[in-house]
Amino acid sequence: MSVVAPSIGAPADRIEGRDKVAGKATYAFEYEQVNVAYAAIVQSSIAKGTVRAVDSAAALALPGVLAVLSHENAPTLSAEGELAVLQSLEVSYRGQIVAAVIADSLETARHAGQLVRVDYDVAQHDVELRPDHPRLYKPDRVNPNFPTDSEQGDVEQALATATITVDETYTTPAQHNNPMEPHATIAVWENDGLTLYDSNQGAWRVAQTLAPIFGIDVGQVRVISPHVGGGFGSKGTPRPHAVLAAMCAQHVQRAVKLAVTRQQMFTLTGYRTPTIQRLQLGADRDGRISAIAHDVVEQTSTVQEFAEQTAVATRMMYASPNRRTTHRLVALNLPTPAWMRAPGECPGMYALESALDELAVACDLDPVELRIRNEPDVDPETGNRFSTRNLVACLREGAQRFGWSDRIPEPASRRAARWMVGMGVAAATYPARRAPSTAHANAEADGTFTIRITASDIGTGARTVLTQIAADTLDAPIERVRVEIGDSSSGPAQVAGGSSGTSSWGTAVVKACRLLRAGQTEVSVDTSDDVDGGEPLTKQAFGAHFAEVLVDVDTGEVRVPRMVGVFGCGRIINPKTARSQFIGGMTMGVSMALFEETLLDPHLGAYVNHDLAMYHVPTNADIGEIDVAWIDEEDFAVNPMGAKGLGEIGIVGCAAAVANAVYNATGIRIRDLPITPAKLVGRL
């Protein structure tokens, strides 16, 4: 019998917390290098065309400049899409990398970059997403590998005969990931190998991607990233700057540092596609849904395809015999969209949960009750059982904690001085994923244990929860366990993305530590051969958001003084870091509802509010009380810890809860995010 207090379930402090607040944690750009050079990116000033000539004479004449790379002298790479840096004369979007300057100092490199003259043959660009765009097409699959469309039953007939119908279009704007630490890389070539100190969400994936680009074996690439200052999906795959840094280092035969500026991040590091979503619902007078149709239009680039899975969550949320989801893309002269926290589920559930609220109003039903009435017994799309599904428990617990019974159903019925007051609710879901990973474990002579795995801690507390998982498996105090992460030399492992990190890495850690506990002293394991077996199950986390808003009757200003989120996410390994993840996601949800919007200038073909002065995110004063709770559940069908991912479900549905509360407060339904004062003032 164990005499060691369990680590799992304890609110352990972050193991690296003291180093971070003391400034001792080293981030990508901070690693010291001998004889280091610096690179600066030169970006295109047109949205479509070809490069006619690159004049680098003035830049090369500047003291301290080592080289200028362009398509004229860049090495040939085995790369496609966004990573085919300087491989073509073609310009596909404004801000594309067309050259790079390498110099002895960062200041010199940036100055010289301004002296590089690039002449173009300009072509007419197309940057506007429209639901009637003539080049809309159906992609083969949507991210990460879902069928593009789905259909069951006769949706049109069910809508035509439904007693109550909702048919509305909801739009979300382009949004940009803005982690605190910008994307940065130090590239070093030595002994025929490449070492990258890089800010990323998966060191192994970076190594695996860059090795073939430069014609070397993956074992010749080492990627080091023990500390990462946020990512939100934008660091989940290697970005063009990492390839460019390696090219520059190879060209000058010196270590090269390359940091993407905040402004450049709005072009080179991904963003959430804008969406146009039509939701059609049919129901009887009691609110039981007979038809759901969710049709999505979104954008990709002409460089490579990214199809966000916006309507996929609709396939399994609510019971209905007739259902359809579709995704259509148009390739525009803009950068390629990419992952941003909860891609697909985040914008998709905003539209679905807003439409559910409109259906509740049309049926004169409480929005919580409407969702409970349409709770499916099995996954409506596949017929599979859910491994666990506690959405109803989340709704009921959230309603009780929030004081939902005090809500006045009639819109614009509650005032507090100049403020109109409203309440809203929305459901949340996110897949519970697990992917193969490797882990190495050693029982040291001094009685301690060392675990090595290519995990990534992007501020989530991954290092800490993996230590807790290892300690419990070993039946050892947490102080005797050291987990080393963020080094691709530890072998293949899942990225920190898709809320799958802890699930994937933790499974490998458990497997390795069980072997140590059985008497081995040094083990290496991988979980690529692990299979679930048994009946197929739908594995999802669920949650419910409740929001109270205040709307200024004169100015249209919206405030969110309090929110409640209740989640069913399996076993909670660390309640302190879990609470932080939920609060962070909900804060981002408020940001999505009220603030975030990247503005496109059609004439320039570019997003113009490309810094944190103009791209608005909430500050402390914008976020009120956030109460977070979770349902007591374990799901060992997902992993041996019984846990599910937490990183993304907090944002899913949150914007809809705020928007639904704004309707309850004002009687005005805003279907185009964000809900800015300009969309309300004059209508109140």
User: 555: Cβ–Cβ under 8 A, 6 or more apart, which residues?
Assistant: 677, 681
CA dist., res. 89 & res. 69, Å (int): 13
Same domain assignment for residues 572 and 511: no
Sign of CA dihedral 378, 379, 382, 386: negative
CB atoms inside a 10 Å sphere around CB 403: 13
- Predicted local confidence at residue 325, as pLDDT: 98
* pLDDT tens, residue by residue, 571-623: 999 999 999 999 999 999 999 999 999 999 999 999 999 999 999 999 999 99
* pLDDT tens, residue by residue, 14-40: 999 999 999 999 999 999 999 999 999
> What is the mean predicted confidence (pLDDT) over 309-335?
98
Residue 542 bridge partners (DSSP)? 429, 568
> Would residue 38 count as lying in a domain?
yes
Q: Are 62 and 112 in contact (CB under 8 A)?
A: yes
The separation between CA 110 and the C-alpha centre of its own chain, rounded to angstroms, equals: 30
Q: Residue 90: is its pLDDT beyond 60?
A: yes
User: 103: Cβ–Cβ under 8 A, 6 or more apart, which residues?
Assistant: 37, 38, 40, 62, 64, 65, 66, 109, 112
Q: Of 346, 365, 384, which marks where a domain is finished?
A: 384
> Would residue 2 count as lying in a domain?
no
> Would residue 3 count as lying in a domain?
no
> What is the mean predicted confidence (pLDDT) over 436-447?
97
CA dist., res. 420 & res. 662, Å (int): 9
Q: Residue 2: is its pLDDT beyond 70?
A: no
Q: Give the model's confidence band at 429: pLDDT under 50 very low, under 70 low, under 90 confident, else very high.
A: very high
Same domain assignment for residues 470 and 503: yes
User: 369: Cβ–Cβ under 8 A, 6 or more apart, which residues?
Assistant: 287, 360
Question: What's the whole-model pTM score?
Answer: 0.97
**Hunting for tokens 């193969």 — which residue is that?**
436
CA dist., res. 228 & res. 168, Å (int): 41
Type of residue numbered 281: L
Q: Residue 529: is its pLDDT beyond 90?
A: no
Strand 256-259 versus strand 37-43 pairing type: parallel
Q: Three-state secondary structure along 286-303?
A: CCCEEEEEEEEEEEEECC
Same domain assignment for residues 394 and 330: no
CATH number, domain with residue 463: 3.30.365.10
Same domain assignment for residues 191 and 46: yes
Task: State the catalytic residues.
Answer: 648
Same domain assignment for residues 233 and 357: no
Q: Residue 122: is its pLDDT beyond 90?
A: yes
Same domain assignment for residues 53 and 97: yes
CA dist., res. 333 & res. 349, Å (int): 27
Total of domains in the chain? 4
> Would residue 62 count as lying in a domain?
yes
Q: Give the model's confidence band at 227: pLDDT under 50 very low, under 70 low, under 90 confident, else very high.
A: very high
Q: Report the candidate in 452, 335, 374, 430 with the shortest Cα–Cα distance to residue 83.
A: 335
Burial (0-12, 13-18, 19+ Cβ within 10 Å), 190: exposed
> Can you tell me whether residue 438 is helix, strand or coil?
strand
Burial (0-12, 13-18, 19+ Cβ within 10 Å), 134: exposed
- 297-332 as b/e: b if 16+ CB within 10 A: bbbbbbbebbbbbbbbbbbbbbbbebbbbbbbbbbb
> Would residue 92 count as lying in a domain?
yes
Q: Residue 532: is its pLDDT beyond 90?
A: no
Same domain assignment for residues 463 and 518: yes
* pLDDT tens, residue by residue, 557-575: 999 999 999 999 999 999 9
C-alpha distances (whole Å) from 374 to each of 35, 360, 378, 489, 682 are: 65, 12, 12, 49, 37
> Would residue 156 count as lying in a domain?
no
Same domain assignment for residues 278 and 375: yes
The separation between CA 305 and the C-alpha centre of its own chain, rounded to angstroms, equals: 17
CB atoms inside a 10 Å sphere around CB 294: 26
Same domain assignment for residues 553 and 675: yes
Q: Three-state secondary structure along 171-237?
A: EECCECCCCCCCCEEEEEEECCEEEEEECCCCHHHHHHHHHHHCCCCHHHEEEECCCCCCCCCCCCC
CA dist., res. 290 & res. 283, Å (int): 5
Q: Residue 404: is its pLDDT beyond 90?
A: yes
Q: Of 475, 491, 526, which marks where a domain is finished?
A: 526
- Domain that includes residue 361, residue range: 164-176+273-384
Start-to-end CA distance of the chain, whole Å, equals 66
Same domain assignment for residues 646 and 498: no
Q: Residue 1: is its pLDDT beyond 60?
A: no
Q: Are 539 and 431 in contact (CB under 8 A)?
A: yes
Same domain assignment for residues 643 and 677: yes
Same domain assignment for residues 257 and 298: no
Return the ∠ at Cα 587 (arms to 327 and 564), rounded to 5°.
100
> Would residue 653 count as lying in a domain?
yes
CA dist., res. 42 & res. 60, Å (int): 14
Q: Of 268, 294, 316, which marks where a domain is finished?
A: 268
> Would residue 642 count as lying in a domain?
yes
**Hunting for tokens 């035509």 — which residue is that?**
160
Residue 195 bridge partners (DSSP)? 188, 222
* pLDDT tens, residue by residue, 245-270: 999 999 999 999 999 999 999 999 99
DSSP 493-519: ---S-TT-HHHHHHHHHHHHHHHHHTT
Percent of the chain with pLDDT over 90: 98
DSSP 656-675: HHHHHHHHHHHS----BSS-
Q: Give the model's confidence band at 530: pLDDT under 50 very low, under 70 low, under 90 confident, else very high.
A: confident
C-alpha distances (whole Å) from 313 to each of 317, 329, 503, 540 are: 6, 18, 20, 10
Q: Give the model's confidence band at 531: pLDDT under 50 very low, under 70 low, under 90 confident, else very high.
A: confident
